[in-house]
Structure 1
């Protein structure tokens, strides 16, 4: 988000600088009891500083529309323009006041010309320093606000993740499935218990991890898939084609793949005549999970938090977005793989 320039604060700094400098000049002239009128020279000083200060603000506003505030081009153009304009301002304003003070002088006077240029450079440098202080304070406040928002968003996303990992409906269905399997086939019941234990173990021990290695995510997905096959049989078909060389070298946000399969099962019809086909594949550094669309005639109650939670968690990690596509007969979610477990992945 682009930072809004603190124009009011900059104007306030300009007025403060003008009053302080003109007041110092006035007191100095009264102290030395010069023949020159103190009020006139104080007004001259105030006018010059005000012109240079407001010119600096206009230059700041104009350049900020073209360049980033911290960019090298912004700093170079700002210095070149403001120092040039301040020198020209001195050369224009001082002759006018010299006329009113009835003092003759010429631009051919090298010493006087050098004095004007050095004075303008000194004043402009002070103005730039004060303006940079205001900008730095504003950027710091903006950064702290953004960081606070990110922390809040991360906490909300993490809370939603915990809620989704062990959903009451999932546990209810899992226990009913175990009960039914043990009545028919104890061996199948034992196998189901193994997959369920693996899934629950991962839910408990990885809930605090921001990212998981791809092979760990895939193992979690397979445990969940095997449990669902006991319920749906041939009505659920899942094909996984991920190259072995990427499994141990890349990462995804924790609990990324399993919720996508769960989402497909939740919102689509599954029958032996019309099976749900889910494909997990890899292309261009992205893992893509796609399924054929067979919308349920009776819509399931949904909070719509699943994909939104995954998208927000991924954005917080990488400042990137997942890609969600819905076509006539196909739905897909594409997630770019993360390459470093310990990086925050934000550019």
Structure 2
């Protein structure tokens, strides 16, 4: 357990207790006792002084013991009770002559009764203070624990997110280099264009490697470089239409590397021919970006290596708490992702 103590909150508690107890004493004397106004004010001040001294003595003892033993040990608890109750008795006995001066009734008690009254009063007051201080300390530890747990969850999510993103790049790079090799054999000019877009794509990938979110505009720019590479590869067999207004591009966000895997997934699992082109539409609907394609599944099953849709869905869930909506109908397959506003770009709380 963390050995730090909420000193400021404990000090505030002491002042609050001093005011509360002294006010209660004043009201009790005002309504039930026939005392002069000076006596009532005097009792109020002395009560506040006694509560304040005991409270601050407790705080001082807590600090010393925490530094020496730590707050989670049995020794700390044992010495705390011993020293605070002893200190409260000493403080009350030191103030006994003042109380005796204010109230001549004390003179009628025997020394043993007189001593017992002050010991009992100090024990009651100290018990109340300890209980309230424990409440403050426990609340502090709970808040501290919750914060640490939140940090651990965030760190874990970041690690998982980074791992998932790192899975994308080797897979994509392997395919890109094979395509580039084939292009330079058949069409060097197309190969040159392809390598420009590949360089742009890889540059953006490296630059945004640790980013958790990206603006929709940046995501579309990254997607366009990937799209141009695929158009060089497939020609008119791939027809991708992006219809996203400028206002939405500049004012909304997505988890980084969200759109490109969706287009890659569509290309990976569908047939692309001149006679039957793959048509992909990317548009906005109800504050969600939708990637929709005509469904013409490959007859040969494609081995999945967990780089596509499942990867994206897991990263999106980690950073937003929302789910990627996947719909498959007879001839249409679509994936929609909720757009993040600027305020929501810090992800889930």
Q: Residue 245 of structure 2 corresponds to which residue in structure 1?
A: 243
Q: How many residues matched?
A: 256
Q: Residue 34 of structure 1 corresponds to which residue in structure 2?
A: 112
Q: Residue 320 of structure 1 corresponds to which residue in structure 2?
A: 321
Paired residues of 1:281 and 1:287 also in contact (CA < 8 A): yes
1:176 paired to 2:178: yes
Whole-angstrom distance in 1 between the partners of 2:214 and 2:267: 23
Whole-angstrom distance in 1 between the partners of 2:301 and 2:128: 67
Whole-angstrom distance in 2 between the partners of 1:35 and 1:171: 90
Q: Residue 294 of structure 1 corresponds to which residue in structure 2?
A: 296
TM-score (norm 2): 0.59
Q: Residue 56 of structure 2 corresponds to which residue in structure 1?
A: none
Aligned to 1:304, the other structure's residue is in SS state coil
Whole-angstrom distance in 1 between the partners of 2:162 and 2:340: 19
Of 275, 278, 281, which residue of structure 1 is paired with 2:277?
275
Aligned to 2:131, the other structure's residue is in SS state helix
TM-score (norm 1): 0.59
Measure how far apart 1:224 and its partner are. 1.0
Q: Which residues of 2 match residues 19-98 of structure 1 at below 5 A? A: 34=112
Paired residues of 2:216 and 2:252 also in contact (CA < 8 A): yes
Q: Residue 234 of structure 1 corresponds to which residue in structure 2?
A: 236
Q: 1:182 to 1:35 in 2, by over 3 A?
A: closer
Paired residues of 1:269 and 1:296 also in contact (CA < 8 A): yes
Aligned to 2:306, the other structure's residue is in SS state coil
Structure 1 portions without partners, runs of 5+? 1-11, 50-118
Write 1 or 2 for the structure with the bigger share of helix: 2
Measure how far apart 1:239 and its partner are. 1.5
Whole-angstrom distance in 2 between the partners of 1:261 and 1:213: 18
Whole-angstrom distance in 1 between the partners of 2:301 and 2:266: 13
Q: 1:139 to 1:166 in 2, by over 3 A?
A: same
Superposed CA RMSD in Å reads 4.1
1:146 paired to 2:150: yes
Q: Which has the larger radius of gyration?
A: 2
Deviations 1:65-121 (A, max 9, x none): xxxxxxxxxxxxxxxxxxxxxxxxxxxxxxxxxxxxxxxxxxxxxxxxxxxxxx7xx
Q: 1:341 to 1:207 in 2, by over 3 A?
A: farther
Q: 1:129 to 1:236 in 2, by over 3 A?
A: same
Whole-angstrom distance in 2 between the partners of 1:181 and 1:225: 16
